[in-house]
Structures are given as C-alpha cells and as structure tokens.
Structure 1
Amino acid sequence: MARSIRLDAVLIQAVIAGALSFAHLHDLAAAAGQTGWKAWAYPVSVDLLLVAVWRRLRTDGPSRLAWCWFLIALVASLGANIATAGLLDLDHVPAWLRILVAGWPALAFLGGTLLAHTSTSAADPAPVPPAPAQEQQPDPAPAVEAEPAPTLPAADPAPAPAPAPAPAAAVPVPTALVDHARKVAADHEARTGTPIDTDILRARLGVPSHLADAIAAQLA
C-alpha cells in the first residue's frame, strides 16, 4: 500500500529559504572572483558550519565557543543575502569583500576543527546553582577531666583519655546539583565508556572537593 505523503508548511518554508540563501551565497562568491565549482562550495561551507554549531549546541549545551561560531556563520549567510539585494554592485565588488570571501575557507576550517575536537570539559562549565550555606554545628561541650586518684609515688600517673572526635557533619547537596551531576556522569560514561571519577566530576561542575565527594557518594 502506498504511503501517504503529508506536506509540512514549516519544512517547505525551510527548503525555500535554504535554496534562496544558497543561491545568494553562490552569486556573491562568483562576483568576488570564485568561479566554477568554488562558487558552489562556498554556500555548502557556510551551511555546514551552521549545522555543526547547531548540533554542538543541542548535544553539549550552550558555550561561548559554539555561540561565537554560530554568529560568524550567521553573519556570513545574512551578509550575502543583504549584499545581493541591490545594495552592492556585483560587477564591481570592492577589494575588502574579495579578501573576506577568499579568506572564508581558512576561517571555516578553523571553526569546524575547534567544534569537532574541543571537548566539553575544555569549554565553559554549565552554571551550577550555589550551594546553601552549611548550618553551623554547635561546638561540643568540653570534656571534664576527672581528678586522678592518688597513686604511689613510684607509679606514673595514667594519661587522661582523649575526647572522642565529633562526627563530621554531612554536606548538604541541592537536588538540582545532583541531577545536573548525574547528567554529566552519564554523558562522560557514554563518550568514554568508563564511569566518571571524583576529580573529573569536580572539574566539570566547578565545585569544592568536599562537595564533589558528597555528590559522588549520592551518584554511587
């Protein structure tokens, strides 16, 4: 049985807009002296950089690196659309625009390499909600030492027993921070195949060592 094809208005609009933008980039590259297959490669390069940045934002979350290259690719695409709207004489392209068009391949290669080989840990860490201030525990009452019983002069006095150390107060961890840490740990295990350790968890979350230990204990 033949499958019915349902046309989506948003998809049709996206195809039309992409085709127009592709043509404008080709026309601008051809006017800047990039003839033949090179003029067709420029719109492919710009659109692929936009796709790579959008995939990075969807998978790894927002970062300054991804947003920077997203703006560069958007300016390149939007600038070509505006330049071909009659504001620029395509028969006499200025020298500075020829320089920008000729230098775009190196810039796009740099952006694609950084997006592909820069790990999430090297980028900006995701904002972490501040941990609440720890409640001050009351100081333990000083132990009262009993007076030693009189002993014979020849015997050495027995040393008084040292007071037992007070139990360490548990570090409170916000639920939102634990949920975020669980996502970071799952992403690390999915990419590397090994569970995340405390040092990497502390570096990814940007929290102190004692708070990272408390989070790791809840993730275990």
Structure 2
Amino acid sequence: MRLPLRLDAVLVQALIAAALSFAHLHDLASAAGQHGWKAWAYPVSVDLLLVAAWRRLRSGGAKTAGWCWFLVALTASLGANVSTAGLLDLNAVPAWLRILVAGWPAVAFLGGTLLAHEAPRSEGTPAVAEEATAPPTSTPELPVAEAESKPEPDPQSATSVPPALVAMARKVADEHRTRTGTAIDTPTLRARLGVPMQLAEAIAAQLI
C-alpha cells in the first residue's frame, strides 16, 4: 500500500534555507584556504552544533549552555551568509577571517563535547537529595526504670533437659559418689555424659 506523499511548505522552506546556508559556509571556508573535503566539513560542523544546542534547549536543562552554543553556531552561519553576499572579496579574504575559519573546528569540538556530556538534572533529583540528607528517625528508647526492672532470662531454665537424660545423670552421679565418696562436679558430669557445659549445668541443678 502506497502512502500519499504530502509536501509541507515549512519543510520545503527549511530545506532550501539549509541548502543555501550550507553552500555559503562551503564557499567561505574554501575562500579562507580550506580546500577539498575540509571545505565541505565546515557547514556540517556548524549545522550539527546548531542541532545539538537546540536539542539541549528542548530538553529543558542547562539552558544557559544551550543558548550560548546556539548563538555561536548561528553567528557562524549568518556571518558566512552575509560575507558571501558581495560584501567580502572572496579572492582576498582578510587574515582575521582566515584565523576564525581555521580555529572553528576546535570551537565546534568544545561546544559539541560540553553539550553531549553535560546531562540535564532530572526533576526527581531534589527529592532524592532531600531524602538522602534527611536526619534518620531515632528509635524510641525504653525508660531506665523499665529497662532495669526487666528480668534477664536464666540460661539454665531456658535449657530443657529430657527426663531420660536426668535419670542417666543421676545414675552416673550415684556411681561417682559410691566410688569416690564425694558428689560429682559439673565438669566431670559433662565429660561423663558428653554434653555441652550449659546442658551439664542444667542437669546438675536438677540433681541437687
């Protein structure tokens, strides 16, 4: 299916203006001593800087830099258009104009680099900064009297001892008393039963 081709008057006018400006920049660069492909590169450089500056203005961020480089590129384009309108002898270009044309690539490179790498600040940045700098919420502290009155858990009561293990420990303790005549101590009980010290202390507490 073929789409109908519609000609926009504004688009046609923009293409004509761009072509004329392109030709004037080429003629001025060639008259200033830039021959061959270099003369064609100058109008491309000016137009690209104009587009980059306009995109920065449309993005809504860093408008000062966008306007600055837009005016620089527009001045270069208008200067070429006026210079080639018969006000300047292209066969005898003055030295200052040759210097400006020769130094333009460095200016265009600087402007394009700054416009490309200077990211505009998003709308959510201030909120993020405020959230990052907000003081942390302090956790409520318990009163000193309430903290001191809270009883600490007993490690022995927290350990549950199986009745079968208590019976075995009692048997080991009776055997130790019969053999030595003294009550069994906790380290010996732990070694005989092969249990951790905390569990052995809980068992010894139940043997008293």
TM-score range, shorter chain: 0.5 to 0.7
CA RMSD in angstroms comes to 2.4
Confirm or deny: 8 A CA contact 2:21 2:81 kept in the other structure: yes
Query: Structure 1's 83 and 198: CA in aligned 2 closer, same or farther, altered over 3 A?
Result: same
CA-to-aligned-CA distance 1:47-99 (integer Å, 9 cap, x gap): 00000000111113462111111110000000000000000000000000000
SS at match of 2:123: helix
**TM-score scaled by length of structure 1:** 0.57
Map 1:15-164 → 2, pairs under 5 A: 15-61=15-61, 63-121=63-121
Deviation at 1:119, TM superposition (A): 2.7
**Percentage of pairs with the same residue:** 70
**TM-score scaled by length of structure 2:** 0.60
Query: Structure 1's 200 and 78: CA in aligned 2 closer, same or farther, altered over 3 A?
Result: farther
User: Number of matched residues?
Assistant: 135
User: Corresponding residue for 2:128?
Assistant: 197
SS at match of 1:197: helix
Runs of 4+ in 1 over 2 A off after TM superposition: 198-202
CA-to-aligned-CA distance 1:92-129 (integer Å, 9 cap, x gap): 000000000000000000000111111324xxxxxxxx
**Which residue identity does 1:184 align to in structure 2?**
E
Query: Structure 1's 118 and 43: CA in aligned 2 closer, same or farther, altered over 3 A?
Result: same
Q: Does 2:184 align with 1:184?
A: no
Q: 2:87 & 2:132 partners in 1: Cα distance? A: 53
CA-to-aligned-CA distance 1:133-188 (integer Å, 9 cap, x gap): xxxxxxxxxxxxxxxxxxxxxxxxxxxxxxxxxxxxxxxxxxxxxxxxxx701xx6
Query: Structure 1's 96 and 67: CA in aligned 2 closer, same or farther, altered over 3 A?
Result: same
Larger Rg: 2
Deviation at 1:3, TM superposition (A): 1.3
SS at match of 1:82: helix
